[in-house]
Structure 1
Amino acid sequence: MENKEIIINDKIYNLSLEFILGFFEGDGSVTIQLKSNPRHKTGKQVILIFEIHQHAIDKDLLKAISIYLDAGKVEIGRKVGKENNWVYRLRISTQKDLFNKLYPILRYQSMVLKKRNNDLNLFLEACKIVEAQKHTNLLGQRELEVISSKLSSKLNLDSKRSLPETFKSLNHEWVRGITDAEGNFNFSIYTRKDKTSSNIGTPEPDNNYNKKEVIFRFSIVQENSEITFLNKLTEFFKCGNVHIDSKGGGVFTVNNRKELQSKIIPFFENNELQTIKKHSFLCFKKALDICLNNKVLMDIHYQNLEELKNDTKENRE
Structure 2
Amino acid sequence: MEKKEIIINNKIYHLSLEFILGFFEGDGSVTIQLKSNPRHNTGKQVILIFEIHQHAIDKDLLKAISIYLDAGKVEIGRKIGEESNWTYRLRISTQKDLFNKLYPILRSQSMVLKKRNNDLNLFLEACKIVEDQKHTNLLGQRELEVRSSKLSSKLNLDSKISLPETFQSLNYEWVRGITDAEGNFNFSIYTRKDKTSSNLGIADPYNNYNKKEVIFRFSIVQENSEITFLNKLTEFFECGNVHMDRKGGGVFTVNNRKELQSKIIPFFEKNELQTIKKHSFLCFKKALDICLKNKVLMDIHYQNLEELKNKTKGNRE
TM-score (norm 2): 0.96
Q: Measured at CA, do residues 179 and 208 of structure 1 come closer, stay the same or move farther in structure 2, by a change above 3 Å? A: closer
CA drift of 1:13 comes to 0.1
Q: How far apart in 2 are the matches of 1:212 and 1:200?
A: 13
- Give, in angstroms, the shift of residue 193 of structure 1: 2.7
Q: 1:158/1:311 Cα in 2 relative to 1: closer, same or farther (>3 Å)?
A: same
Deviation at 1:168, TM superposition (A): 1.0
| Kept after mapping to 2: 8 A contact 1:119/1:151 | yes
Structure 2 partner of 1:276: 276
Label 1:79 to 1:204 Cα distance change in 2 as closer, same or farther (>3 A): closer
State the aligned residue count: 317
Q: Is the 8 A contact 2:55 2:316 kept in 1?
A: no
Aligned mates of 1:20, 1:106 — CA distance in 2: 11
Write out per-residue CA displacement over residues 90-130 of structure 1, whole angstroms, 9 at most, x where no aligned residue.
Answer: 00000000000000000000000000000000000000000
Distance 2:252 2:201 in 1: 41
Contact 2:196–2:210 (Cα < 8 Å) also in 1: no
Cα contact 1:193–1:208 (8 A) shared by 2: no
**Gap runs ≥5 in structure 2:** none
CA RMSD of aligned residues (A): 2.7
Q: Aligned equivalents of 1:95 and 1:186: distance in 2?
A: 42
Distance 2:249 2:116 in 1: 17
Q: 1:197 to 1:91 in 2, by over 3 A?
A: closer
**Are the aligned partners of 1:196 and 1:207 in contact in 2 as well (CA < 8 Å)?**
no
Counterparts in 2 of 1:134 and 1:251: CA distance versus 1, 3 Å: same
Partner-residue secondary structure (3-state), 2:210 = strand
* Deviation, structure 1 residue 164: 0.3
Q: How far off is 1:181 after superposition?
A: 0.1
Contact 1:198 1:204 in 2 (8 A): no
Greater CA drift, 141-150 or 190-199: 190-199
Query: Are the equivalent residues in 1 in contact too, given 2:61–2:275 (CA < 8 A)?
Result: yes
Distance 1:308 1:209 in 2: 19
Note closer, same or farther for the CA distance 1:144–1:201 as it changes in structure 2 (3 Å cut).
closer
Partner-residue secondary structure (3-state), 1:272: coil
Change (3 A) 1:175 1:198: closer
- Taking the aligned partners of 1:200 and 1:270, their CA distance within structure 2 comes to 35
Instruction: Flag the 1:285–1:37 CA change in 2: closer, same or farther, 3 A.
Output: same
| 8 A contact 2:221–2:252 mirrored in 1 | yes
SS in 2 for 1:207: coil
Change (3 A) 1:201 1:178: closer
For the 8 Å contact 1:112–1:166, the answer to whether it is kept is yes
Cα offset for 1:192?
1.9
Shift of 1:167: 1.5
CA shift in 2, pair 1:50/1:294, >3 Å = same
> Aligned equivalents of 1:37 and 1:196: distance in 2?
70
> Structure 1's 270 and 126: CA in aligned 2 closer, same or farther, altered over 3 A?
same
Range moving further from structure 2, 198-207 or 27-36? 198-207
Per-residue CA deviation, residues 284-316 of structure 1 (Å, 9 max, x unaligned), is 000000000001000000000000000011444
Unaligned runs of 5+ in 1: none
For 2:41 and 2:185, locate their aligned partners in 1 and report how far apart those are by CA, in whole Å. 53
The 1:220–1:207 alpha-carbon spacing in structure 2 relative to 1, beyond 3 Å, is: closer
- Please say if residues 42 and 138 of structure 1, whose CA atoms lie closer than 8 Å, have aligned partners that are also in contact: yes
Contact kept in structure 2, 1:72 and 1:93, CA below 8 Å = yes
Return closer, same or farther for 1:147/1:203 CA change in 2, 3 Å cut-off: closer
Tell me by how many angstroms 1:197 deviates.
11
User: What does the per-residue CA deviation read over 1:165-187, in whole Å, with 9 as the maximum and x for residues that have no partner?
Assistant: 00210000000000000000000
Q: What is the alpha-carbon distance in structure 1 between the residues aligned to residue 200 and residue 72 of structure 2?
A: 74
Distance 1:41 1:263, change over 3 A: same
Q: How big is the shift at 1:274?
A: 0.1
